[in-house]
Amino acid sequence: MPTATVPRLPLASLMGFAASFAIASLSSPATAMTPTLNARVALVADHSSVVPGQSFKAGLRIVHDKGWHTYWANPGDSGLPTRFDWTLPAGASAGAIEWPLPERLLASGLTNFGYSDALLLPATLRVPASATAGSRFRATLRARWLICEEACIPDEATLTLDLPIEAEPRASIDAADFKATAARVPVAPHAPSGHSWRDATHVATQIDNADAMLRGATRIEVFPLTPQIVTSTRIEARLGPDGALRFRHPASEYFDRMPTRVDWVIGAQGEDGRWRALQVSLPADDARTP
C-alpha cells in the first residue's frame, strides 16, 4: 500500500483559475487515497505484478477538491508544473511525466494550463532485467506540485509502490484509467512539415497536411508547449482548403526571440466527445512568410 509524507508549506501569492472545458473523468479511485492540502493523491500502476525487464506504467493520481487545480508542463501565465523524483532499484529506470491534454484555467485576466477534478499523471518504469521472480519491485516517488484556487499552496507527497515480481505479469484494477489517460497524452505524427514565425506583434504557424492528422475532429484546441512564446489565451486555429492548419496569435509579453524550434500540442475532439492529442515540433524563426 502506498505511504505518504505530506509537509504543510506556506501560501504562495498566485491567483487561481476556473476551468474553460472539462477533461475526461477517470473512474472512481480503486486505490486508497492519501489526503493532502485540497486534494487526495495515490501512487498507482497499471500492473499488480511485473516480470524481469518489463516496462509498465505508474503514476500520480490526484483528485482535486472542488475549485482547486494543478498545472501542466507549460503552466501558462503563472504557476509551476508538477515534478517527479523517483528512487528506484539498481538497474531500473523511469521516464518523464506523460502529460495529458490540459484545460485552460481563467481568472483575473490571466490564463493558465492545468487540471481540475480527477487526474492521472503517468510515467513509464522499467524493471531491471536482472530482477528475479519471487522478489519485489519497490519504487518511491517524491511528487511536488502547486495547487491553486484563489491562492496557491505548494505541496508534496512521498509515495511508495511495492509490486511482486512473478513469472507472469498481471494487470491491476487501475489499468483502465491508464488506458483512458493514454488516449489524451499527445503523440507525435510522423515527420510533420510546417513552421512557426514571428511578425511585428504575433507568432504565426502553419502545419502542412494537418487534415489527415485531425480527420473527424469537431473541435480543435491548440496549446503552446514551448513557454513564453504566445499569450495563453485561446488560439483560433482553422484548417484551410489545402489541408494545412493555420493560426496566428499575439506574442507573449515575455517574448524575446524565437527559438529554433517551437512545440505545439493540438487537441482534437471527435463526434463522440472524446479528445485525442498530437504534439508537433516545428522549425521557427523571427521573420518568415509561408
Kindly report, residue by residue over 87-112, the tens digit of the pLDDT.
999 999 999 999 999 999 987 778 99
Predicted structure pTM score: 0.87
Distance CA 110, CA 121 (A): 24
Kindly report, residue by residue over 197-230, the tens digit of the pLDDT.
998 899 999 999 999 889 899 999 999 999 999 9
18: pLDDT strictly greater than 70: no
H/E stretch holding 177 reads helix 175-182
Sequence ranges of the domains in the chain: 18-182, 194-285
Measured over the CA atoms of residue 84, residue 24, residue 29 and residue 69, the dihedral's sign is positive
- Domain 194-285 CATH (choose: 2.60.40, 3.30.1540, 3.10.590, 3.30.1380): 2.60.40
- The cell for 228 is 513564453
Which amino acid belongs to residue 56?
A: F
Domain 18-182 matches domain 194-285 at the CATH topology level: yes
Q: Which CATH superfamily is domain 18-182 in?
A: Thiol:disulfide interchange protein DsbD, N-terminal domain (2.60.40.1250)
Query: What's the pLDDT score for residue 150?
Result: 82
Work out the end-to-end distance of the chain between its first and last CA atoms, rounded to an integer number of angstroms.
Answer: 55
- The cell for 258 is 524565437
Q: Which residues contact 46 (CB under 8 A, 6 or more apart)?
A: 56, 57, 58, 171, 172, 174, 175, 178, 179
189: pLDDT strictly greater than 50: yes
- Name the residue among 186, 178, 181 with its Cα closest to residue 267: 186
